[in-house]
Amino acid sequence: MVTKAYGAYAADKPLEAMDIERRAPGPNDVQIDIAFCGVCHSDLHTVRSEWAGTLYPCVPGHEIVGHVTAVGGEVTKFKVGDTVGVGCLVDSCQRCPSCADGLEQYCENGFTATYNSPTQDPPGHTLGGYAQRITVTEKFVLKINHSEDRLAAVAPLLCAGITTWSPLRHWKVGPGMKVGIVGIGGLGHMGVKLAAALGAHVVAFTTSESKRQDAHDLGAHDVVVSRDRDAMKAHRGSFDFILNTVAASHDLDAFTSLLKRDGTMCLVGVPEHAHPSPNIGVLIFGRRSIAGSLIGGIPETQEMLDFCAEHGIVADIEMIRMDAIEEAYDRMQKSDVKYRFVIDSATLAG
């Protein structure tokens, strides 16, 4: 089915309108009319080929919400009209131990990402949510229980929400823990909201003085402008867990030194250029860890969506037209996003 989309034909070309082909729903497929799609920094890294291996044309977008317009004959969980979401994954092998554990993002045979992964559909790699519709196998479609008027602000939960939720849950963040969130962008602002809702004492670290009050409003109990050395020093050796969402290369030691004995800093940001090598002494003297985490599996994504619906949590968004995407990327490069751009997919119609 011919579908209007927005993407790039090369790393050095701006995004533009294009027609793409979506498969007709097979027996296990759900066809979705996309209402809104969030703009993740990974979209920018990929479409500009900051990470190796981008396939063109590239249509980014993996924070998708919309409504079901058709289902295959064997679909049981969804019906036409349902409000649904699709995140970063659209398939996985379903046979390996990670898939059996509901951690499809660690599929040992390689998951299928929502964009830039090999597929049998044209043009041979997946195309994401900057489009009017998408067809996805039932298992990778999520139920949305938020009220319809909050749908645009739910979109970012599909990546920014789950990418912060999964490590917060894995490292058992909750009451009695002191937790740092580094980088108050799309991921970081969700990290602050979720860690606070889980009952932790939350400290936000930002390079942007202008985000200080916002970070408090998002739920942080304390805010540190990380360029202020004295303010950083005051927190030395005090954190149980730090979630680092920064999208650029930076000095990790500034944060590992803030961990308690046995504390962990989990990296989720994937910068274009490597971080300087961490100081090993800081890790050894204190048995501290640096870890990483990738988005989240389908069961935990549903758990996070349900938790957010129950607790009234959505992202703080700025809605944009599809043709404003280049300007949105420019602002994202400058850390000037409060706190997630969301595309109104109706503007794809022209």
The correct pick among 270, 281, 310, 321 for binding ligand NAP (CB under 6 A) is: 270
CB 240 within 8 A of CB 218: no
155 binds, among ligand NAP, Zn ion, none (CB under 5 to 8 A by kind): none
What distance in Å separates the CA atoms of residue 188 and residue 242, rounded to the nearest whole number? 11
Span interacting with ligand NAP, options 41-49, 77-85, 144-152, 308-316, rule CB under 6 A = 41-49
The residue nearest ligand NAP at its CB is 185
What distance in Å separates the CA atoms of residue 62 and residue 295, rounded to the nearest whole number? 11
> How many residues in total does the chain contain?
350
CA distance 301 to 142: 8
Nearer to Zn ion, 47 or 259 (CB): 47
Q: What is the number of other CB atoms lying within 10 angstroms of the CB of residue 347?
A: 14
Distance CA 247, CA 257 (A): 20
* Residue 246 binding target from ligand NAP, Zn ion, none, CB below 5 to 8 Å by type: ligand NAP
Q: Quick one: which of 238, 249, 280, 297 has its CA closest to 92?
A: 297
Site for ligand NAP in 197-256 (CB under 6 A): 206-208, 211, 245-248, 250
For ligand NAP, give the closer residue by CB, 57 or 269: 269
Classified as helix, coil or strand, 134 is strand
Helices 160-170 and 298-311 pack at an angle, to 10 degrees, of 100
Beta carbon of residue 290, minimum distance to ligand NAP (angstroms, whole number): 14
Number of chain residues interacting with ligand NAP (CB under 6 A): 32
Instruction: Kindly tell me which of 75 and 265 has the beta carbon lying closer to ligand NAP.
Output: 265
- The residue behind tokens 């977008």 is 61
Q: What is the dihedral of CA 55, 60, 63, 68, to 10 degrees?
A: -90
Considering the rule CB under 6 A, would residue 335 count as an interface residue with ligand NAP?
yes
> Which residue's CB is nearer to Zn ion, number 245 or number 256?
245
One DSSP character per residue, 1-16 reads: -EEEEEEBSSTTS--E
**Partner touching 61 among Zn ion, ligand NAP, none, CB below 5 to 8 Å by kind:** none
Q: What is the DSSP string of 29-70?
A: EEEEEEEEEE--HHHHHHHTT-SS---SSB-----EEEEEEE
User: How far is residue 262's CA from residue 283's CA, in Å, rounded to a whole number?
Assistant: 9
Nearest approach, Cβ of residue 293 and ligand NAP (Å): 6
Among 64, 68, 157, 159, indicate the residue that binds ligand NAP (CB under 6 A): 159
The footprint of Zn ion on residues 129-188 (CB under 5 A) is 159
Query: Under the criterion CB under 6 A, does residue 158 sit at the interface with ligand NAP?
Result: no
Candidates 3, 31, 42, 46; binder of Zn ion (CB under 5 A) is 42
75 vs 317 by CB, closer to Zn ion: 317
Question: Per DSSP, what are the bridge partners of residue 33?
Answer: 67, 133
Give me the residues that bind Zn ion (CB under 5 A), please.
40, 42, 159
Give me the residues that bind ligand NAP (CB under 6 A), please.
40-42, 45, 159-160, 163, 183-188, 206-208, 211, 245-248, 250, 268-271, 293-295, 332, 335, 337
